A and B are shown apart, each in its own frame.
Chain A
């Protein structure tokens, strides 16, 4: 079976972001960009399913500017077979991405689509669920374990109270949580091999999707700073302050 792994190019998770002084957004100039960590887990899971003989082909898909090609190359170096880049030069929202991915899914007919549960830039946590709805498929979000067997996917999910297991008809959508797996690093020979793997370039129009923004961003600001930094010397002083100064115990 074919599996589609949508990936997003985002500010590297180690970078301390800066809000632009004119409040129009976050400063992305000369900032290190990487694959969204949750998407990396999705790529890894697809590769593991291929190693188990469940999956035959892995297609890495991304929507973004030309530089997004590097992110697709990373997925190819990890073990994806080919890539599709849908070029868009401005930020676009989850619903638009989901519509583009639905178009790709109709063309490629994958049995599984594995996405990160959220991107660490806009923190929306929407694309996989929206895509599932658009395709009429079942979904296993926030997955910490995936077993594909007998035309079904059994997905264990991280939920507020603990864990929940669902059984999904295929084709299905899975979104990854942190504890699903630990993504591998690409080896040098695989990085070299990835350079020869094909990446198709497409546009939203190829899937009949208008990439215009749906929400208007009025401003982006820094959160109010919390004033901390006071110290106490002893446990006794701590208890006294919590009781008599803060009044919280």
Chain B
């Protein structure tokens, strides 16, 4: 089965989600070709050649792919899809944006956010915010799949695929890019950080997030938030961890002042180790936490900062 994997990137670096999605793609069949559609994105294509299992790396380098607008991306992927039996993309906001257009153009259903490949046409995906798992079998047509990359191990990076430059496809010209307002941070990216420190409504204000930032800097962690904290305006939307925000699975997740609503748990419950700091002993977050500390966060977090400092972090 020939598979096309669409790379997630920002024109300069290849996202880890692509490397993880490769593991899902390889479980489906081979060869797995990787599409890098971007602008001045040669470095991304070069990085993709290292992913073990890559057949070849297709580079469509054109100004119209600079922001990966859904209409243009779909036109390109549909043009390429003829040669492939399955098309996969990480379930990022970008993949979620263009992949359903690809599926509709190919007249097949999309299988969203798979967490395992159970057979050549059988997949498991979460429904109801992860409160149930659905196993589905695809029909005879091409498979269009988005991958919850945190559910898959990263592929090795010892490959040496070749880059093949391809032309752009004609987009429908119905949308144009106006501007990006992207958060700038020196910290690791939330989706791929080894440690995540998240705050909830209990933080009480955006200013108080600096308490978490201090811990994050000591542990080289990303800072996240619950939906309640984002809705309250403490931090921007791209901090949100949860079913409708980002799904993360770091080695260590520290939840501070987060009660543990179902939709938040859906976004972090696959973390290796979960720490919860909350003054409410009954908070549901403690039911999933490996280490729970019932304490006032405004005392406990500065104490944690001191203790980490004392131990040389």
Contact = CB atoms under 8 A, between A and B. Distances in A.
A81 interface: no
A154 B175 CA distance: 10
Majority-rule SS of B interface residues: mixed
B180 interface: yes
Interface residues of B, number: 89
Given A126-B112, A159-B94, A239-B308, A144 B237 contact: yes
Interface residues of A, number: 80
A95 B103 contact: yes
Contact of A235 (B97, B175, B180, B300): B300
Contact of A133 (B67, B104, B244): B104
A179 B239 CA distance: 14
Interface stretch (A42-50, A164-172, A188-196): A164-172
A64 to B, nearest CB: 17
A172 B286 CA distance: 45
B100 to A, nearest CB: 4
A95 B128 contact: no
Nearest to A132: B101
A222 B93 contact: no
Interface in B183-209: 183, 191, 195
Given A93-B109, A235-B300, A238-B293, A139 B71 contact: yes
Highest count of chain A CB atoms <10 Å: which of B134, B179, B307? B134
A235 B104 CA distance: 53
Contacts of B112: 123-126
Nearest to A14: B262
Nearest to B313: A249
Contacts of A134: 104
Contact of B135 (A129, A132, A219, A232): A219
Interface of B: 10, 67, 69-71, 74, 92-94, 96-105, 107-113, 122, 126-139, 172, 174-183, 191, 195, 219, 227, 230-231, 236-238, 243-244, 246, 251-252, 262, 269, 272-275, 286-295, 300, 303-304, 307-308, 311, 313
Closest 8 CB pairs of A and B: A129-B100, A138-B174, A138-B175, A130-B104, A133-B101, A126-B100, A133-B104, A165-B178
